[in-house]
Structure 1
Amino acid sequence: MDPPTPDSTSREEEEDERNWQELPRDVTSMILSKLNAVEILSSAQYVCSFWRTLCREPMMWRNIDMHNLGDLWDLDYDLEKMARHAVDRSCGQLLSICIEYFATDNLLNYIIDRSSHIRHLRLVSCYSISDDGLSEGIKRLPLLVEIDLCYCSFSKEVLETIGRYCPRLKSFRLNCQGFRHPHIECDEEALAIAQNMPGLKSLQLFGNKLTNDGLLAILDGCRHLESLDLRQCFNVTLGGNLVKRCAEQIKILRYPNDSTDDYEFDAEIHDDASFDQEYPSGISDLDLLSDGDYYDFSDGSDFSEYDPSDYDPYEPHHFYD
């Protein structure tokens, strides 16, 4: 079989491009909606002119997903700059945003300044966002319906602020790593939720250190609660009147030892029994952290510069070195 000539190769490329452009607009939009922001900005928008046009429409950026990006240190992009560019493209229509690892106070402030209608905020392992940074941001997002704080480290005062300034809040997730040992009991977060989030319908407290007292406070304070996830909350002992109360009030209940097969994050249980013999009970999470346990993703990265004002939109791969 003869190899293709340059002319035939060119015709095949043109035909492929025409085929992409002949897809119905709604089908193409559905395809693009399955991609995260990095995939769209670094590749999808360069497939053809039709895709490029769609990728620049504000409606495409009503939901910005920048989590689960693999090994953060293997990416050749400045993720914070890309997030700012994605927010700019939303033109104030942003409704939902999810960021993992790299968010900072400055980035959160930038997002909120341009997106006052956000309904769903999700932060995963964002240790460079401070208590003050999140609290001040939350005060400017009164339309929030869902908030997810997964593997972050925020004080109970932040939870109180969320409850006071987000009257429409229906879903809250406060997830961390599950611990059997060291044995630490703490109901501060549970009480903050119970006292400040009365309208909740869905609550996930994966790996929380609350006790039966904290659970009772939530049941008393969140009367509209329909779904409660207590997986790996090993200080909670469901039995007797408490389990009966849960059964009467909660439609969907996940028990502390229920399967984690459908959980999206690492569900490995920390179990160091020797720790309880070396340290007294009742110590806080902050007492367990050393300087080496804090990771700052905002400075000193090896990511290449990404400045949307410096690139030609018709040339691909401007996020690479």
Structure 2
Amino acid sequence: MPSRGLGGRARRRQREAATTTDWAGGLGTDVLLAIFHRLDHIDILMSADHVCHSWRRAAREEPSLWRRITMRGHEGIARRLNRGGMACEALRRSAEAFCGQYAGVNGFLMYLVEQAPCLKSLRLISCNLVSNEGLTEAVKGLPLLEELELSL
């Protein structure tokens, strides 16, 4: 009588291990983008690069994901985040619109002008370190700007 015990269990474990480790890499780009579009850009910058190669590639190389950058919230971890650095990284990836909370200082605005001169929409929320002069210079350097919102 043939024994099924060890061989069957080993094959089952191997199939389970392959399924649990490969699910993220097997998703198509369209599915990944649908997931990423539901996330805040801070979450994408902090997490997507660390999942697998296909997630990293989609997060870094897909321009449609970075056209409208939103970096809001995260008050609980704001002190541990380099929000300005994250915003700069996001801007390098192709932006038409930027919405940032607690991320704006005069230096960042000038960087924004250099990296995203085609910006059409700019929303700054609770960016208390931006001066009137810094904002004026930034707006002068954004000739395509159609929408400007400053709040709080």
Q: Which TM-score band applies after superposition, normalised by the shorter structure?
A: 0.7 to 0.9
Larger fraction in helix: 2
Tell me the CA shift for residue 20 of structure 1: 2.4
Residue 102 (structure 1) shift: 3.0
Per the TM alignment, residue 72 of structure 1 is displaced from its structure 2 partner at its CA by 4.9
Q: Distance in 1 between matches of 2:18 and 2:100?
A: 37
Rate the CA distance shift 1:21–1:79 in 2: closer, same or farther, 3 A. same
Once the two structures are TM-superposed, the CA of residue 58 in structure 1 deviates from its matched residue by: 5.0
Q: How much does 1:21 deviate? A: 2.7
Identity %: 31
Over the residues paired in the alignment, what is the CA RMSD in angstroms?
2.2
TM-score by length of 1: 0.41
The aligned residue for residue 83 of structure 1 is: 87
User: Is contact 1:37–1:65 with CA below 8 Å preserved after alignment?
Assistant: yes
Task: Find the counterpart in structure 2 of residue 67 from structure 1.
Answer: 72
- 1:1-321 maps to which residues of 2 (within 5 A)? 8=13, 12-59=16-63, 60-73=65-78, 75-88=79-92, 90=93, 93-151=94-152
User: Can you list the C-alpha shifts for 1:187-222, whole angstroms capped at 9, x where unaligned?
Assistant: xxxxxxxxxxxxxxxxxxxxxxxxxxxxxxxxxxxx
Give the Å deviation of 1:40. 0.9
Structure-2 separation of matches of 1:34 and 1:140: 31
Q: Distance in 1 between matches of 2:43 and 2:17?
A: 22
Name the CA distance, whole Å, in 2 between partners of 1:21 and 1:58.
16
The 3 A distance-change label for structure 1 pair 13 and 111 is farther
Give the direction of change, closer, same or farther, for the CA distance of 1:105–1:16 in structure 2 (3 Å limit).
Answer: same
Q: Show structure 1 runs of 5+ residues with no match.
A: 152-321
Instruction: Tell me the distance in 1 between the aligned counterparts of 2:16 and 2:132.
Output: 56
Structure 2: how far apart are the matches of 1:149 and 1:20? 39
TM-score by length of 2: 0.81
Task: Name the CA distance, whole Å, in 1 between partners of 2:124 and 2:17.
Answer: 41
Aligned partners of 1:14 and 1:49: how far apart in 2? 16
Using the TM superposition, give the Cα deviation of residue 126 of structure 1 relative to its aligned residue in structure 2, in angstroms.
0.6
Between the aligned partners of 2:114 and 2:84, the Cα distance in structure 1 is 15
Q: Which residue of the partner structure matches residue 288 of structure 1?
A: none
Higher alpha-carbon Rg: 1
- Which is bigger in relative contact order (C-alpha 8 A, separation at least 6)? 2
Give the superposition deviation at 1:114: 0.9
Q: 1:110 to 1:18 in 2, by over 3 A?
A: same
Once residues 51 and 127 of structure 1 are traced to their aligned partners in structure 2, the CA distance between those partners, rounded to angstroms, is 35
Measure, in 2, the Cα distance between the counterparts of 1:72 and 1:21: 29
